[in-house]
Every structure is written in C-alpha cells, then in structure tokens.
Amino acid sequence: MKKYILKRVGMSVVTLLVIVLVLFVLMQLLPGSPFNDERLSIEQQQVLMSKYGLNDSAPVQFFRYVRNMLTGDFGKSYTISKDTDVALLLQNRLPTSLLLGGLSILLGSVAGLFLGVAAALKHNSLLDSAATFFSVIGVSIPSYVFALGLSYFFGFQLSWLPMLYNADDGLRAFALPAVALSMTVMATVARFTRTEMIEVLNSDYMQLVESKGVSGVHLIFKHALRNASISIITILGPLVVSLMTGSLVVEKIFSIPGIGQLMVQAIQSNDYNVILALAFVYSALYIFVMLAVDILYGVLDPRIRLAKEDAHG
Amino acid sequence: MKNLSKKSLWLSGAASLLLLSACDTEATDEVDESVEAEAPAETDEQVLNVQLNVEVASMDPQIATDGTSFEVIANTIEGLYQTDSDGQAVPALVESAEKGEDGLSYTFKLREDATWSNGEPVTAHDFVYAWRRLADPDTGSEYSYIMGIAGLVNANEVLAGEKAPEELGVQASDDYTLDVQLANPVPYFESLMSFIPFFPLNEDFMTEVGDSYGTSPETLLANGAYEVSSYEPAATTIELDKNEEYYDADNVVLDGVDYQVIKDSQQAMLSYQNGDLDLVTLAGEQVDLFKDDPEFVNVQAGYLWYISPNTLVEGLENANLRKALATSFDKQQITDTILKDGSVPADYIIPDGLAVGPDGKDFRETSDTYLEYDPEGAKESLEAAKSELGQDSFTFGLLVEDTESAINVAQVLKSQIESNLDGVTIEIEQMPKKTRLERMKQADYDLGLTRWGPDYADPMTYADLWVTDGNNNDGAWSNADYDELVYSSIDGELSLDDEARWEALKEAESILLNDAGVLPVYQKGNAVMVQDNVSGIDFHAVGLPRVYKFAVKE
C-alpha cells in the first residue's frame, strides 16, 4: 500500500509539471498582452515587459517559473491587483472558496445520503417518489437559480440571512451560498445512494449478514452503506473539486471573494501569473482528491486493497 | 428485512435530521445575536455603504489607473489641490501658491498641520519623492506621461530614461515649501495637481514597507479624511474609518465609508432597497424602472465613446466616406433606447462638463457641434465618396469589446449604417478589450469602437490624441494645421495666451470633425441611486468620479 501511494504521488507530481508546461504554452498563444492599455506607450510597455521578464524566451520563462513556484512564489499579478504577489491573492481567496465548497459538500452529502438511504429502504413508496422528485429537481436546476431564489426570499424578503458576503458575518455569510451549492451534491448523492443501496440490499451477502442476526443501524451503515459507498465516492470526487475551486455564478450573486471570479477576471485581463497559479491549484486539488479517492477505495473495500497490493507488490 | 429496515430508516433519518438541525439552530442563534448587537450601533454610527462594480486594482497613487482605485485612494490621501463640487481645483495641502510671472514656476507653501496617520508630518519632501517615483521609468507607472503633460523641467528626459529622476524640476527648499519649474506654461497646472498620480507618499514609510505597500491597513498611510481599516489585495469589502488626525476632521461628518464590490447589478439593487447600501450604480436595463424615483441621480461622466476609422485602410482615407459613416447613425436612439444610463449623443470630441475656459464658461457652451445624425447628408457624402473612389460597395470590420453595452451599441451602428448607406457592409468583430486595444495599436483594424476618459480638466486631454504619429492616434489621421494648433497650445506661442489658446482648441476640434477624423458616438453617463437621507457626495466628470469628504448620512 505504501509503495502504491508513493508511486501515485510521484505520478501526480509529474502530471502537475506537464500541466504547467501545457498551460505555459497555451498562455504564450493567448492574443494580446497584459500591458496594452491605451495610456502605455510602446517604450513603457517594453519597460514593463522586461521588468516582469516577459521578453525572455519561453523556455527561460518556463524554468524560472517552475523554480520560483517550488519556493511558493507564483509571480506578481499584472492587472487585477497590480504588483501584488499572486500567492498573497490566493492566500486571501482560496480559503474562502475551500470553506464554501467544503460546507456545501458536507451539507449536500449528508442530506443526499439520508434521502438516498430513505428512498432505497422505502423502495417504491411515496417517500421514494418524493426523494426521486427532489433529486431530479436538484440535478436539473442550476445552482444559480437556487442562489437567486434563496437570496431573494431569505435575504431580501425575510432578512434572515445576509444577501451579500461579508467576512464579519462569519459562517452566517456562507449559509445561503452553501445551501444553494449543496443542492446539486444532494441530488447526485441521493440518486447514486438509492440505486446502489437497492442493489446492495438485494444481494446475497446482505441476506447472509441479516440471517446472522445483524440488524438496525449496524446493518445499514456497516454492511450496506459501506458497500454502496464505493460508487458514491467516485462521483463525489470531481464534485468536491469543482465546488471547492469556486462556483463562478454563485460567487458573483453573493459577492463572495473566491477564486472562481478571480479566474474569469484573470483570463479577461491577460493576468498570466494569476491564470497559471489558479489552473495549477485547480489541477493540484483535482489530482489530490483523485488520489484520496483511490486510497479511500482501499480503506473501504478490502478486495481493492488486496488487489492493489498484489499488483504493486 | 422489512422490520429491520423500518427501524434503521428511522434511526438513520433521526441522525441526519439531528445533524441538519444542529446546523440550523447554530445559524439562527447567530442571527439573533447579531441583530441585537448591530441594531443600536447602526443608529449611532454614520457609515456610508457604497457599491463598487470592480475590485480596487491598486492602492498606490503612482500605480493605480482606474476610477475605482482612484476613488478609494482619494478618500485617504490628499494632494496639493482637490476638486470642489463645481469641478474647480481648490487648495488642499497648499496654504498659498505663488506662480512665476512667466508661468514657468510655482512655489507652493504647504500647511503645517497636516500629518500622516503614523504621526509624521506631511512635507514637501513627500511630494518630491512621489513625483520622482512617478517619472522614474523603473516604477513602471502607466500614468508617468502625465508628468510630461504637467510640463515639469526634464520630465520627458526622465521618462525616457535619459536623465535621473533627481533632475526633475521639483525640489523641497524647506520642509513646507515645494518649488516647481516648468518647461512651458501649463494653464491647467493647478487642476492637474488634484489628480491622484501627483499625490504624496512618505519615503521613510515606503522604504519600511517595501513591496508590501498597499496590501493591508498596516502598509497604508493616510493624510486625508478617512483611513483604511480593512483591506487586502482584490478585496470585495473595504472599510474606511474617519481619520481623526486629519487637519480638517471637524468638517468630516461621516464615521466611515464601507465599500462592497457587487458585480451583479440586480443583487446590488436589492441590497439598496434593503437599506444595506446607500449608493449603487444602475445597469442600463434598470434605469427605466427607477428613473422617476426621487433617489435616482444622473451623473455626467467625461468618457467619450467614438469610432476610430483606420485611415490606412483602403476607402477610409476618403473624408467623404468617413463623413457618410459618421452621420449615418442615430446617436439619440443609441443613448435613449440602448444605453439608457444618462449617456448623451456626442456631436463633439471635447466632452460636456470637462473644462471651463478663461471666459468662465464650459468649453461646449461656446463651441459648435459637428457630424450630427443626418441620413440624407450621409447619402450625399457616400455618393461623392463612391465617385471619388470609383467603387460602389465597401465592407468594413468593426472591432468591439465583448461587453454587453458595447455589443448592443455596435449592433445598432451596424444596422443603421447599412440601412442608410447603400453598398456599405459592417462586420462586427467581438473580442476582449485587451485584444481590441492590441489590434488597434497595431493598426490591424478598419473601424474600432473605443473610448477615452479625461485625465485632467482641459480640452488637451482629448485634443493631443490625434496629432500626427501620436501615441494613441491608432487610425493615423493627420492634418498639419491641427498639429500646429495643438503643439502651439501645449508649449508654443498659444500656451502663453489663455484666450487665444482656448479659441485655437475650438478650431482644432472643428478641423478634426469636419474631416471626420474620428466618429463620435456618445458621452457616457452614469445612473446611480442615492438614499434620500444621504447628501453631500460630489460627482465629477474628470479625475475623481466621487468625493465623500463632505457626505452626510442622517
């Protein structure tokens, strides 16, 4: 297992480097420059280009970037927050996105699991239909519709919760956006949980476990849900990444200082270093979550664990 | 199985509910607490809540370039002069100013009671430091060229890197006396001094904080009405507190200004209606809904939107064809049905409300209008062009940046030009603003819908754009008479005679527009809502859009 994890980590690092390289090439192909404002003369543009080392050849820039990146230096922002370290920008914005994403995943998975388990146990009942209805709505209606609705009713009409993000409000500021974002998670998790649970509950080994006298919560959580969880985790992985790295529209509606909005702005204004850093963070998170999912498989399912140990020694 | 599942369902359900309700009660508890805590505070404190459309790009006066950054900086830092409610420059840190007889020197006596928020006095050295910093090519300031506009001795040489910043025509002869030498008289020099890039910075403080200047309240210094109490780069909330050390603090009524960046105009309006915001900017489609509201305010902005014709492109070198294009679209329809934000048709290039002449009147009050919408005239010009060029059909690309309003305007332009001018086809090319600017700078375009915002309250901020080989003369329009008038007004004979200079600038405008060197479209307006218990906010068309020093919230 250890060797397997090490190997996977090594592969992840290589993947990340390749991603940075690809991004770097793409960035070279982007039309325009960060410094083509009306008020900058050609000479001034040259001064700025050389100040940031953008006149050097692409390979030189690339290796310098990677070298600095390893020390945590992601360069400076050219336009969004002039001359500010990109690391500082991320340091301020990333935690907000991660917290919001984390909260919505937590909320969505708990609610989704409950709905899914309930629907599976009460297969073909009214409750099942209601849960299915809920998840179809949750999957098909985009989160910004929920965001607008929640913000209008709970923020504007009832004034229960803040309509707009303000760090002073603490967790309360996250309430509405987290609920809005959790709807998709809830619906997706509920759907998969239901399908998997129905399958697992009808399997032979469940009947065996039952006949051995295992019952109640123990039966559901230890035996049924554990077997069903493999596929739930598989779909949850990418969801976690996409939610943690920010939802552009929901961030905009609630004015949340996350990284989703930052990415769009960076692309529009050719703020190369911000684009690179964000894409890097996104990829790194993705790879990390995928790795975590793989490890979790092993933890949850001894068969996978054993197979891997066999395969990788 | 059935029995078991019932029980377990109940249990798992109860567990999940418990979790959810735990979240719930936590949230509601917090709501109650904060309502109790905040309600009395709000009535005591006068804090103005202002919406911004975009994050502050820089808190550094010599680096910032956008209106939002300028607004926040100007709340916290004061320069030699500031703009009053009529847009005139009035002394701020200047106690008395002495202008040399030839107009080539200024001696500013600074007030001695102004201090930075760290207790250090504001001195003439702070200006010298900031101005050298602005002109120094190593600073990479986009606005450094304004030092040349201000006409300081050696400014252009320092900008070009040929002389050291220390040779710039500005010195501190003592702590409170600032001496300035100009290479040529600059009639609007004092008004220019209210522009942010000329604001002072404290050298000791800058050395101390280094690169981290302007990244947190601790790395910022204030000498103005407010000081920053909460800020981080690209923050969406910025909080300013009243600066008790400010020399004129007695005249500042507000306890603070809180900014929130809200990009969704609908959410911003809801917050305004909620009472959470005191000042919001309306989007075009909202104006119809609120334009009869007593809290609705229409603010004239100095921005001019125009089409730049590339005279290097075949066909566009013909003045008749340019004139045909310029008079073939209904500007009134564009401002009234598309923009609806208080923008007005522009039959001129020097915006209304930009500059007041030696006669005490606005430039527009005493000058003509040009290139009005005239479909019949446009057709005649087109016929003339067709016979001059020996060509019956023309196809031009129109570069447009990919914002909603620019695209909408471009579509009206296209449909009106095409329906009024037989044989002319317009192809709209959408792209990000940065790409549009790049294409225009490289003269890789036919027509470009673009804009220019004024830097200072003088017609020159527009007039010098179209001199031959000018930095921003993308379309390469050229006219020797125009060049002569403009150059003479900058540093020649005309610069010595305010009245003649004013007349010359009017003549320059008529030369440019009678030849349709540019095709003006509209002058931008802003529609804002201000709560009726708020007064005293100054709105300006030039330099600083909004000033809050004298704002009051009852």
Smallest Cβ–Cβ distance between A252 and the set B23, B57, B264 belongs to B264
Q: Are B378 and B417 in contact (CB under 8 A)?
A: no
Examine residue A273 and state whether it is found in any structural domain, yes or no.
no
Query: How does residue A304 score in pLDDT terms, banded at 50, 70 and 90?
Result: low
One-letter-per-residue 3-state SS of B276-295: CCCEEECCHHHHHHHCCCCC
Is A190 domain-assigned? yes
- Examine the pLDDT at B366 and tell me if it is beyond 70: yes
Average pLDDT over residues B288-298: 88
What's the domain range around B6?
1-39
Q: Does A86 touch chain B (CB under 8 A)?
A: no
**Same domain flag for A142 and A235:** yes
Same domain, B201 and B311: no
Residue B30 with chain A: CB contacts under 8 Å: 170-172
Query: B531: closest CA among B36, B35, B40, B46?
Result: B46
Q: Are residues B315 and B171 in the same domain?
A: no
Q: Return d(Cα B477, Cα B512) in angstroms, integer.
A: 9
Prediction ipTM score: 0.82
Q: What is the pTM of this model?
A: 0.83
Q: How far apart are CA B233 and CA B75, in angstroms?
A: 17
Beta-carbon count within 10 A of B4 CB: 15
In the stretch 465-484 of chain B, residues with CB closer than 8 A to chain A read 471-472
- CA angle centred on B211, ends B207 and B212, rounded to 5°: 100
Examine the domain organization and report whether A66 and A192 are in the same domain: no
Residues A167, A307 within the same domain: no
Within a domain: residue B276? no
Does B76 share its domain with B9?
Answer: no
Task: For B215-231, write each residue's pLDDT tens digit.
Answer: 999 999 999 999 999 99
Kindly state whether residues A124 and A220 are assigned to the same domain: yes
pLDDT greater than 60 at residue B14: no
Q: Check whether residue B337 and residue B395 sit in a common domain.
A: yes
- Shared domain for B192 and B313, answered yes or no, is no
* pLDDT confidence bin for A310, thresholds 50/70/90: low
CATH number of the domain encompassing residue A249: 1.10.3720.10
Question: Once rounded to an integer, what is the mean pLDDT over residues B11-26?
Answer: 39
Q: Domain for residue B292, yes or no?
A: no
Q: pLDDT averaged over chain B?
A: 88
Q: What's the mean pLDDT in A175-184?
A: 90
Q: Is residue A142 part of a domain?
A: yes
Give yes or no: residues A104 and A247 share one domain: yes
Q: Containing domain of residue A39, as a range?
A: 1-73+279-313
pLDDT band at B3 (very low <50, low <70, confident <90, very high): very low
Of B341 and B307, which is predicted with more confidence? B307
Chain B residue numbers with beta carbons less than 8 Å from the beta carbon of A117 are 9, 12
Instruction: With respect to residue A86, please indicate whether it lies within any of the assigned structural domains.
Output: no
At B106-133, the pLDDT tens digits run 999 999 999 999 999 999 999 999 999 9
Q: Minimal Cα–Cα distance from A312 to chain B, Å?
A: 38
pLDDT of residue A248: 80
Within a domain: residue A50? yes
Within-domain flag for B532: no
Domain count, chain A: 2
pLDDT computed for residue B419 by the predictor: 95
Beta strands per DSSP E along B443-490: 447-452
Q: What is the pLDDT of residue B147?
A: 93
Partner residues linked to B451 by β-bridges: B305
* Chain B residues 431-460 with a CB less than 8 Å from chain A: 431-435, 437-438, 441, 450, 452
CB B106 within 8 A of CB B182: yes
What CA–CA distances, in Å, run from B316 to A155, B320, B387? 55, 9, 14
pLDDT at A1: 66
Same domain, A111 and A233: yes
Q: What is the pLDDT of residues A12-70, one digit of tens each?
A: 889 888 988 898 888 888 776 777 777 777 777 888 888 888 888 888 888 888 888 88
Q: Which CATH number is B362's domain given? A: 3.10.105.10
Model confidence at A98: pLDDT above 90:
no
Where is average pLDDT lowest: A280-284, A293-297, B362-366? A293-297
Question: Would an 8 Å CB–CB cutoff place B177 in contact with chain A?
Answer: no
Q: What is the pLDDT of residues B239-292, one digit of tens each?
A: 999 999 999 999 999 999 999 999 888 899 999 998 999 999 988 778 888 988
Q: What is the pLDDT of residues B522-550, one digit of tens each?
A: 999 888 999 999 999 988 877 777 889 88
Whether A267 is in a domain gets the answer no
A261 to chain B: which residues are within 8 Å by CB?
A: 263
What residues 61-90 of chain B have any CB closer than 8 A to a CB of chain A? 63-65
Scan for tokens 């192909």, then name that residue.
Answer: A29
Q: Between A113 and A308, name the one with better pLDDT.
A: A113
Instruction: Tell me if chain B has a CB within 8 Å of the CB of A40.
Output: yes
User: Out of B65, B140, B263, whose CB is closest to A48?
Assistant: B140
Are both A242 and A287 inside the same structural domain? no
Closest C-alpha to B87, from B259, B301, B347, B344: B301
Interface touch B262/A255, C-beta < 8 Å: yes
> Is A102 a member of any domain?
yes
Q: Give the model confidence (pLDDT) of B316-359 as tens digits.
A: 999 999 999 999 999 999 998 888 888 999 999 999 988 888 88
Q: How far is A311 from chain B (nearest CA, A)?
A: 38
Asked if residue B50 is part of any domain, the answer here is: no
pLDDT, residue B217, reads 95
Does residue B448 share a domain with residue B326? yes
Indicate if A5 and A102 belong to the same structural domain: no
Higher pLDDT, A307 or B135: B135
pLDDT of residue B43: 52
Of A79, A164, A221, which is closest to B57 when you measure between CB atoms? A79
Q: How many structural domains does chain B have? A: 3
For residue A263, being part of any structural domain is answered with no
pLDDT for residue B295: 92
- pLDDT value, residue B131: 97
In this structure, are B362 and B486 located in the same domain?
yes
